[in-house]
Amino acid sequence: MLALLVSNQSFSSPPTSNRLLEQTNSLTGETPIPQEIWSKSNEILWDTYGVPHIYGKDTPSLFYSFGWAQMQSHGNLILRLYGQARGRAAEYWGEKYTESDRWVLTMGVPDRARSWYDAQNSNFRKYLDAFADGINAYAREHGDLIDDEVEVVLPIKGEDLLAHVQRVLNFTFVVDASVGESLSKNLAGRMPTPQESLAGRIPTPQEIGSRSSTLGSNAWAIARSRSASGKAMLLANPHLPWSDLFLWYEAHLNAPGMNAYGATLVGIPVLAIAFNDNLGWTHTVNTHDGWDAYKLTLADGGYRFDGKVEPFQTQEFDLKVKQNDSILRSEKLIVRRSIHGPIVTEKDGFALALRVVGLDRPGVLEQWWNMARATNFAEFETALKRLQLPMFTVMYADKEGHIMHLFNGQVPVRSQGDFEYWSGIIPGDTSATLWTKMHPYQDLPRVVDPASGWLQNANDPPWTTTFPLAIAANNYPPYMAPRGPMYFRAQRSAKMLDEDKQISFEEMIEYKHSTRMELADRILDDLIPAARKYGDKLARQAADVLAAWDRFADAESRGAVLFSFWFEDTDFDSMFSIPWNENSPRTTPDGLADPQSAAKLLSTAAAKVMAAYGKLDVAWGDVYRLRSHRVDLPANGGAGGLGIFRVLNFTSEPDGRFKSVDGDSFVAAIEFSQPVRAMVLTSYGNATQPNSAHSGDQLPLFARKNLRPVWRTRREILAHLASRQVL
């Protein structure tokens, strides 16, 4: 490899000019690169925030360089994730990965990855191989920068990429590994819904839906008619955990026929959220049911199905587990499968089989790639219609002014029942309940260019994407998506869009950072009088604090901590005197069902706040923090269940404070002007490798509610160049 490294220098000349080459080499002391070699090279221009701007002379070279770049930023994490996707993590790193391996092997991920690899078209298979080659090349040349314990995963093959994307999409987002444990406890009872399983556990009632979901997102598309500039705009804002396979990686990809900027989940070789000069899209986790648990009656070594006893298909694995002395212990894993899918638990003569969508659709990476290459709405829809992506809302905007919301997903054609029915345990003894087909693209809830001029999704069902309503739930099967509720974050989202008839680019960014609590706006007019009437002295003091509070969760907001503590002690489902109603989706629920109990809970919350922080009006940012090994800053934002659009979720710390661990992760605000305007932020930084300068380096911007400008032209990139690598 020939590499040029430049630190914090500004350039104004075009990148192919001899003057630039001379200027670069005078700074580095390198031998000048001949112009004819430069023009045929692949290069990565690293900007000052650790974002790779990759230029490939052809598509395989682009994928190779993207693999290299991801390794430089996240090498240890990528190799660990690929090892887990192989179902060999316990063999590599020990006992704590045993359950992960059992899940991956039981779901058939490694074998299916090989068949998916064989099913790729020949060109795209080459691209996957090139990405893997870039990973391996980086590891060969920079082995000293990779942890010794993860090098055992090398070399990486193209099929490893497909195992990883399968584990991420089908077996984390669609259905989580914790489902097996949940099923064993609920064999005869209610199943967790897909949205509940996403969090990796059965949540409390307060956490169900979008109230405090670990996996969520916001998305907006604004048409010309509502844009102050007359140009369509898009807001991308996924909320994911700030660790592990959920991390976003920001990148700029350039090759013949490709100039796209966006982000992907670490280890995935294409952009999953992106825009180009013509169009862009983002995703939210939608209310999609992509898996079902079938209850089987065991008999004669098999299971009953349509009046007969059918045999299980059986596969045996030798699961190896590394011990503390590095000796491998072997464990036999026998996986049994019915016509429905793999068996995940057995009890009292019954078994549960898991059926998951998308396992026969290996083209998700190519679909994302083609979405990023599209130049207009027709080309973009052609890519979408393949329905290779198993779930996620698609929110879209383009330079022609079109906007779209698609309830995307592989939705089974089911013979009966509504969403709640299919969230339970399904009888598995009859073919009448066994789905085998998916709804085609034209069956999915979708709206293009609504009369309102705006679209939003905050993990609510598709029916409330805009007002007046543009998608009628009655026109779709009752199992397609639930009929509600529209939680407070979604209500806040729609309210901000609906109240501003001409939204500027700057206003869209301001709204994105809004920490106003919609729940507070809805309930304080009842809670404060209740506390003053029924509460004790402490409750009345708390009422005074809430009355003076600005109803935001900004760093200096005083009263937000108290309200948040009160909320955590409430039973959300029984809090309101007026429940949510789909005929009044943005003004319900409302009212306190039990004002006296609410006042008592406020006193309890106030006592907790006083004991922990010494005063009731403690500032939000004094309690809720943005922390990494480099920074400790006051946070702004909070749980979506409070009706906050700027989502941030926390875990408790030993000092009594709370540290941000998920929520706003990647943000992109895009206006499809000519040229495109765009601002972005990757909250936790664009690298996790030890000693990287880009781990946590964007948190100060996050704390100030700032986004960064996107640098897409060569001149802009070179003006903010940190280093250059020629591969």
What is the per-residue DSSP string for 612-641?
HHSSTT-BHHHHEEEE-SS-EEE---B-GG
Tell me the three state secondary structure of residue 167.
helix
Handedness of CA 264, 269, 271, 277 (dihedral sign): positive
Decide: 352 and 293 in contact? Cβ < 8 Å: yes
Closest CA to 267 of 239, 298, 244, 238: 244
Which position has the higher pLDDT, 27 or 216?
Answer: 216
- C-alpha 580/C-alpha 643 separation (Å) is 14
- pLDDT for 187 equals 58
- pLDDT for 41 equals 74
Q: How many CB atoms neighbour CB 40 within 10 A?
A: 9
- pLDDT for 28 equals 31
Instruction: Say how many residues make up the chain.
Output: 727
One-letter amino acid at 145 equals L
- pLDDT for 628 equals 87
Which position has the higher pLDDT, 142 or 23?
Answer: 142
- pLDDT for 32 equals 38
User: CA distances (Å), 436 to each of 304, 353, 357, 414, in order?
Assistant: 19, 15, 10, 9
Tell me the three state secondary structure of residue 161.
helix
201 pLDDT above the threshold of 60? no
125-148 per-position pLDDT tens digit: 999 999 999 999 999 999 999 999
Report residue 630's pLDDT band, with 50, 70 and 90 as the boundaries: confident
Decide: 445 and 480 in contact? Cβ < 8 Å: yes
- C-alpha 513/C-alpha 555 separation (Å) is 12
Average confidence (pLDDT) over 309-326: 97
- What does residue 381 show for φ and ψ, rounded to 5 degrees? -65, -35
Handedness of CA 419, 420, 423, 425 (dihedral sign): negative
Decide: 637 and 645 in contact? Cβ < 8 Å: no
Which position has the higher pLDDT, 691 or 139?
Answer: 139
N-term to C-term CA, the chain: 5
Q: Can you give the C-alpha Rg of the chain in angstroms?
A: 26
- C-alpha 81/C-alpha 172 separation (Å) is 13
Strands 313-322 and 350-356 come out as unpaired
- pLDDT for 7 equals 33
- pLDDT for 660 equals 96
Q: CA angle, 270 as apex, 267 and 274 as ends, to 5°? A: 120
Average confidence (pLDDT) over 475-481: 98
362-409 per-position pLDDT tens digit: 999 999 999 999 999 999 999 999 999 999 999 999 999 999 999 999
- C-alpha 338/C-alpha 340 separation (Å) is 5
535-586 per-position pLDDT tens digit: 999 999 999 999 999 999 999 999 999 999 999 999 998 999 999 999 999 9
Decide: 710 and 682 in contact? Cβ < 8 Å: no
Decide: 333 and 317 in contact? Cβ < 8 Å: yes
- C-alpha 574/C-alpha 571 separation (Å) is 6
203-219 per-position pLDDT tens digit: 322 232 333 346 889 99
512-538 per-position pLDDT tens digit: 999 999 999 999 999 999 999 999 999
Describe the chain by its helix, strand, coil percentages, rounded to 5: 35, 25, 40
User: 689: which DSSP letter?
Assistant: S
Closest CA to 705 of 661, 651, 648, 649: 648
One-letter amino acid at 408 equals N
Closest CA to 38 of 24, 27, 59, 48: 24
Strands 624-627 and 258-265 come out as unpaired
- pLDDT for 483 equals 94
- pLDDT for 40 equals 61
- pLDDT for 181 equals 64
- What does residue 83 show for φ and ψ, rounded to 5 degrees? -65, -40
Handedness of CA 57, 63, 67, 72 (dihedral sign): positive
- pLDDT for 184 equals 59
Beta-bridge mates of residue 250: 263
31 pLDDT above the threshold of 70? no
Alpha helices, DSSP H, located in 157-203: 158-168, 178-185, 194-197
**How much is the mean pLDDT over the chain?**
91
Beta-bridge mates of residue 282: 395
55-88 per-position pLDDT tens digit: 999 999 999 999 999 999 999 999 999 999 999 9
- C-alpha 404/C-alpha 390 separation (Å) is 19
- C-alpha 286/C-alpha 411 separation (Å) is 12
- pLDDT for 629 equals 77
Which position has the higher pLDDT, 630 or 164?
Answer: 164
Average confidence (pLDDT) over 626-634: 91
- pLDDT for 204 equals 29
On the 0-12 / 13-18 / 19+ scale of CB atoms within 10 A, 581 is: middle
38 pLDDT above the threshold of 90? no
User: CA distances (Å), 233 to each of 223, 226, 229, 274, 278, in order?
Assistant: 7, 9, 10, 13, 12
- pLDDT for 186 equals 62
Residue 222 makes CB contacts below 8 A (sequence gap 6+) with 232, 233, 234, 235, 397, 403, 453, 454, 455, 497, 503, 508
- pLDDT for 224 equals 98
